[in-house]
């Protein structure tokens, strides 16, 4: 043990590392905790996974494993992640939802040079917020995310909040047939609609996994939608469940979970008290009125006594100055049925527009104009309008929205980094532009992003 650690800090570290060891199928190459800093080694590489039982599938994986390791760190404490690219193409890592410096945001050309095959890049940042986040590349996203480069990052509260049980659940449908063979990751006619859905559903890389919970356990379920396409309307059956955090941000007053949609990129923290031994709790994916099982928990005997759920402290998100806020309008729409073609006759699929503009793409020395220029420290209200019949989860890097209205109705303000716009949906979300840099701003349905629905805002 390093000299100068207090007994309290040592115990906190021990608890955190024990939590890592209990996560299903998560294997870190190395993790060390020294003088208040969390340090990890991570790689992206081709691998094999048995996603469909009895069959092997070629995947792209962090540390060669599906699911990817869940990275844990702590609010307000530095974290270092040494990332090595063992792919056959460039990549980066974006730390989705974390308000960190632009140099660490992981967007190629905009915030860092692409990490070439064989290269190592070290990400260093201090997360200001606690909660459930995730990480993924921001290059060749349809393929790299679609084939498995997705993982969860859990930022513990600065003052630990202890639940008896905690489970991180990454939700993903893979584009596989029943023999584990890859199907098309993106089909243009679907890209112009809802996106191309995968057919083989998993939680933590397993189809319908089963876990256990101790009876009476105060339980925190951290759900992360790491899918390219699908929105999951979530229900919990077999226990009274509460929404305690949305997109990594605790809500002031927990809400009873009836059904809650988490679109690609979004997260949901659920709190519940495990019922008596022998009961089953099911997390369901609702398709209209029809429930489909995602995962289940069976309760086991324990000596735990009944007690209330722990309360989560709010994150230190700057309060918007709504009186002096400037409103910016953004319309998300379909480009139409005409597909431009290049000189070789290959279609250039720009299906989606943000303010009548499709994302042009970027490269070294060729950065398009921002979709908006914002003054550092000023409050903005983003008026978001979806004029299509397909949903769009709109994600802003480097900042946290305070949602004010949904579909013309005021809501109890809550914090999020991704605002879900439903069919012809409309929302108003405010934030203080307090993090300087060029920040990506896009739909998190990956095919929508790759076919036009992306831009960036420049905070100066």
Mean per-residue pLDDT, 340-354? 68
Mean per-residue pLDDT, 269-287? 97
pLDDT-derived band at 351, boundaries 50, 70, 90: confident
Domains of the chain and any CATH numbers? 7-156 (2.60.40.420), 165-300 (2.60.40.420), 322-459 (2.60.40.420)
Average model confidence (pLDDT) for the chain?
91
Mean per-residue pLDDT, 443-452? 96
> Model confidence over 143-171: pLDDT tens digits?
999 999 999 999 999 999 999 999 999 99
Q: Look at residue 434 in the predicted model and tell me its pLDDT.
A: 97
Mean per-residue pLDDT, 244-250? 97
Q: CA-CA distance, 164 to 318, in Å (whole number)?
A: 31
Q: CA-CA distance, 399 to 252, in Å (whole number)?
A: 19
Closest C-alpha to 37, from 120, 125, 107: 125
pLDDT-derived band at 428, boundaries 50, 70, 90: very high
Lowest-pLDDT choice from 4-13, 187-196, 313-322: 4-13
pTM: 0.91
pLDDT-derived band at 335, boundaries 50, 70, 90: confident
> Model confidence over 288-305: pLDDT tens digits?
888 999 999 999 999 999
Residue 33 has pLDDT above 70, yes or no: no
Q: Look at residue 30 in the predicted model and tell me its pLDDT.
A: 47
> Model confidence over 39-54: pLDDT tens digits?
999 999 999 999 999 9
Residue 255, token pair as written in the block: 């809400």
Q: Look at residue 344 in the predicted model and tell me its pLDDT.
A: 65
CA 150 from chain center: how many Å?
A: 9
Which helix (H) or strand (E) segment is 402 a member of? strand 401-406
Q: Look at residue 156 in the predicted model and tell me its pLDDT.
A: 97
Mean per-residue pLDDT, 332-353? 69
CA dihedral (413, 417, 423, 428) in degrees, to 10, reads 40
Mean per-residue pLDDT, 256-284? 98
Q: Look at residue 178 in the predicted model and tell me its pLDDT.
A: 95
Higher pLDDT, 60 or 287: 60
Higher pLDDT, 225 or 35: 225
Residue 85, token pair as written in the block: 């690219």
Mean per-residue pLDDT, 378-390? 97
> Model confidence over 68-82: pLDDT tens digits?
999 999 999 999 999
Please state whether beta strands 437-443 and 71-74 pair in parallel, antiparallel, or not at all (unpaired): unpaired
Residue 59, token pair as written in the block: 């995947």
Question: Phi and psi (nearest 5°) for 239?
Answer: -160, 155
Residue 21 has pLDDT above 50, yes or no: no
DSSP per-residue letters across 170-204: EEEEESB-TTS-B--S--HHHHTTT----SEEEET
CA dihedral (61, 62, 67, 71) in degrees, to 10, reads -170
* Per-residue buried b or exposed e for 435-460, using 16+ beta carbons within 10 Å of the residue's own CB: bebbbbbbbbbbbbbbbbbbbbbbbe
Q: 294: which strand partners?
A: none
Residue 35 has pLDDT above 70, yes or no: no
| Percentage of residues of the chain with pLDDT beyond 70 | 89
Q: CA-CA distance, 385 to 421, in Å (whole number)?
A: 8
Q: Look at residue 289 in the predicted model and tell me its pLDDT.
A: 82
Mean per-residue pLDDT, 124-149? 98
């Amino acid at each position: 043990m390093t000299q100068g650690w207090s007994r309290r800090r040592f115990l906190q570290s021990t608890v955190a590392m024990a939590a890592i060891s209990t996560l299903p199928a998560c294997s870190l190459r190395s993790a060390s905790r020294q003088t208040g800093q969390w340090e990890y080694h991570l790689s992206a590489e081709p691998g094999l996974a048995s996603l469909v039982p009895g069959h092997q599938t070629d995947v792209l994986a962090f540390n060669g494993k599906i699911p990817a390791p869940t990275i844990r760190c702590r609010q307000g404490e530095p974290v270092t992640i040494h990332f090595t690219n063992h792919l056959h193409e460039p990549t980066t890592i974006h730390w989705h939802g974390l308000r960190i410096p632009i140099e660490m945001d992981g967007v190629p050309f905009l915030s860092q040079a692409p990490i070439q095959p064989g290269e190592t890049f070290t990400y260093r940042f201090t997360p200001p917020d606690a909660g459930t986040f995730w990480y993924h590349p921001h290059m060749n996203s349809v393929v790299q995310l679609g084939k498995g480069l997705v993982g969860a990052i859990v930022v513990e509260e600065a003052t630990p909040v202890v639940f008896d049980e905690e489970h991180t659940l990454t939700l993903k449908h893979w584009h596989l047939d029943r023999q584990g063979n890859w199907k098309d990751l993106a089909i243009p006619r679907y890209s112009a609609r809802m996106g191309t859905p995968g057919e083989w559903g998993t939680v933590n890389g397993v189809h319908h996994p089963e876990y256990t919970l101790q009876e009476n356990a105060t339980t925190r379920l951290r759900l992360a939608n790491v899918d390219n396409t699908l929105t999951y309307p979530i229900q919990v059956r077999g226990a009274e469940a509460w929404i305690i955090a949305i997109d990594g941000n605790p809500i002031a007053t927990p809400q009873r979970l009836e059904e809650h949609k988490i679109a690609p990129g979004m997260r949901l923290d659920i709190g519940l008290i495990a019922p008596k031994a022998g009961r089953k709790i099911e997390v369901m994916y609702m398709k209209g009125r029809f429930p489909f099982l995602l995962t289940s928990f069976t309760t086991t005997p324990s000596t735990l006594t009944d007690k209330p759920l722990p309360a989560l402290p709010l994150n230190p998100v700057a309060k918007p100055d709504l009186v002096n806020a400037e409103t910016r309008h953004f319309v998300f729409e379909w480009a139409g049925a005409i597909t431009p073609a290049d000189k070789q006759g290959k279609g250039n699929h720009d299906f989606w527009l943000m303010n009548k503009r499709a994302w042009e793409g970027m490269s070294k020395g060729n950065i398009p104009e921002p979709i908006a220029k914002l003054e550092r420290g000023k409050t903005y209200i983003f008026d978001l309008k979806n004029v299509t019949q397909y949903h769009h989860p709109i994600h802003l890097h480097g900042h946290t929205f305070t949602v004010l209205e949904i579909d013309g109705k005021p809501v109890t303000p809550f914090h999020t980094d991704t605002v879900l716009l439903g069919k012809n949906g409309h929302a108003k979300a405010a934030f203080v532009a307090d993090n300087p840099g060029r920040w990506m701003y896009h739909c998190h349905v990956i095919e929508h992003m790759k076919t036009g629905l992306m831009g960036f805002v420049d905070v100066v």
